[in-house]
Structure 1
């Protein structure tokens, strides 16, 4: 039996703990029969011959840029069957200026409205708010979310612009709703996808927006979503 291959690509903004976060899931992949390669640069996406044999790309890269040949290589690999998976800004706030990447993933981080300005201290926790992750009707039958109930978190609540709300190419498994508060400029609640999947050619894409830091990834519900999502996305 041929061993499966996973590629972990990590880097960008250190606040998302790309090394510590991905290290949590490498043993899980290895226990499921994956040979894991770790890279701290997206240059590996331009290695077409190598990427063609990768079953799963786990990406945790936030707020950086990507070269044209790299995103073309990633798109080609996913279209041919390589899975792409990730969480939080490591997948939906990776390369803000690259339209080809955004089309592949199907969603883009737009904000994480935080506490009242008078409560802010300049720390990351300024953006930590209590919120609920709500399963959609489709979640009950999907292998990533089957058996999971709605759950609550106190962390960044991602406001996401996503295709699933308009073009139907994203299958939304969970949502989160940003409330209207007296200091906010919007006037009605805003519901964003929190967990979704996307088919692209022969490949699969999995996104989980919770996962700001390792303590969020250690939440049993989030950990289960990510672990199942990795296996689901894989070739």
Structure 2
């Protein structure tokens, strides 16, 4: 049986959501997934639909505030084993006013000093991990994402700030995570801060990292099903946010 991937496409046009969706969708189709593309956030309240997927990919920058029930639904779906993977603002700036979403994804975007066209380096931090094995540090010309990041993330790559002089420069040099994995219940979460425009993934290292991350996140569902795992073990009647 083919695995299933659901892509939520929309939001700010400046991040080329249609092109990114086409790229991701083509890759997953070639990797033997049934791919569904949705262009309305109404799907966020459909728990049955979300839980039927192996992988959920948000490609939706800067959305308006939604009822928390939407994100509780996503949380339960990912917690049951559905993978969550995405890039750039399509994931870690997708719902900037929702703290549960930020907790799930492991970060929120706060700035990109210099905006597009900034030269910077991606430094691989975990060369023995299968998601980064064989990939060396590489240079990029794009938006350099400064993120507020969860220390529980397993960091795979970083970038050094500041490259462009701004108020944050007063703090000196700091390495900000750019690619990481994490768990949300039984679900696997993968984020790659690259992808301001679709052509960023024409860089072989950037695209290889993204492809590996999509497949890795999706595989958590198989493990959860094989082991009979459920999100129920993570549920609590205590206030969590």
TM-score normalised to the size of structure 2? 0.86
Match of 1:160 among 123, 140, 147: 147
The Cα offsets for residues 117-143 of structure 1, whole Å up to 9 and x where unpaired, read as xxxxxxxxx53211000011xx22222
The CA RMSD measured in Å over matched residues stands at: 1.4
Aligned to 2:45: 46
Equivalent residues of 2:6, 2:37 under 8 A apart: yes
Q: Give the whole-Å Cα distance in 2 for the aligned partners of 1:183 and 1:212.
A: 21
The Cα offsets for residues 69-119 of structure 1, whole Å up to 9 and x where unpaired, read as 2211111100000000000000011111101111111101010000xxxxx
Query: 1:180–1:32: structure 2 CA closer, same or farther, 3 Å change rule?
Result: closer
Equivalent residues of 2:120, 2:163 under 8 A apart: no
Equivalent residues of 2:162, 2:168 under 8 A apart: no
Deviation at 1:45, TM superposition (A): 2.0
Q: Give the whole-Å Cα distance in 2 for the aligned partners of 1:197 and 1:32.
A: 21
Show structure 2 runs of 5+ residues with no match: 222-241
Q: Secondary structure at the match of 1:140?
A: coil
Aligned to 1:110: 110
Aligned residue pair count: 217
Aligned to 2:122: 133
TM-score normalised to the size of structure 1? 0.88
Match of 1:174 among 157, 168, 177: 157
Query: 1:176–1:73: structure 2 CA closer, same or farther, 3 Å change rule?
Result: same
Q: Give the whole-Å Cα distance in 1 for the aligned partners of 2:150 and 2:205.
A: 25
